Amino acid sequence: MDIKNRFHTDSTFLLERLEHLMVVIGCSGLALWHWQDVNWLRFVVAFVVLDLIGYIPGAVAYRRKGGGRIPDIYHYLYNTTHSYLMAAVLAGAWAWGIGGVEWAMLALPIHLSGDRGIFGNIYKPLELPFEPVAVPPATH
């Protein structure tokens, strides 16, 4: 994958997934190592909120349409909530304004890297269905 060929081969996709699995393992290890210092309620909320806002509405809309095209906003919601940039903003806002730096915020990279490493979900392009469905390659 490069600037002129923006697609994954099987091997590059596998490498990307393996990198994210290592992030899941590392961050999970840190959370477990500091299990007594983790506010587990905050951890669960931070983990779940990404899907409550970014995935579930789109998944419901997609199923209601019978797998058809859904409004772009659902793709944007998913892509925004499932970005490391947004995770950094959320964790920074939490640290600055509410709870300080805390181990519970490891839920964010664990969630994001879990989606990428375990499920293979990265971003949702507008041109593709919201849920993973094989689509014939585009012709140029």
pLDDT above 80: residue 53: yes
Mean pLDDT over 66-89 rounds to: 97
pLDDT for the residue numbered 1: 66
Give the whole-number percent of the chain exceeding pLDDT 70. Answer: 97
pLDDT above 80: residue 137: no
pLDDT above 60: residue 70: yes
Pairwise CA distance, residues 68 & 112, whole Å: 26
Pairwise CA distance, residues 38 & 125, whole Å: 35
Quick one: tokens of 133?
Answer: 């469905």
pLDDT for the residue numbered 44: 98
pLDDT for the residue numbered 24: 98
pLDDT above 80: residue 87: yes
pLDDT for the residue numbered 8: 85
pTM of the model: 0.91
Q: What is the DSSP letter of 37?
A: G
pLDDT for the residue numbered 79: 98
**Are the beta carbons of 59 and 81 closer than 8 angstroms?**
no
- If phi > 0 it is left, if psi is from -120 to 50 it is alpha, else beta; for residue 87 that is alpha
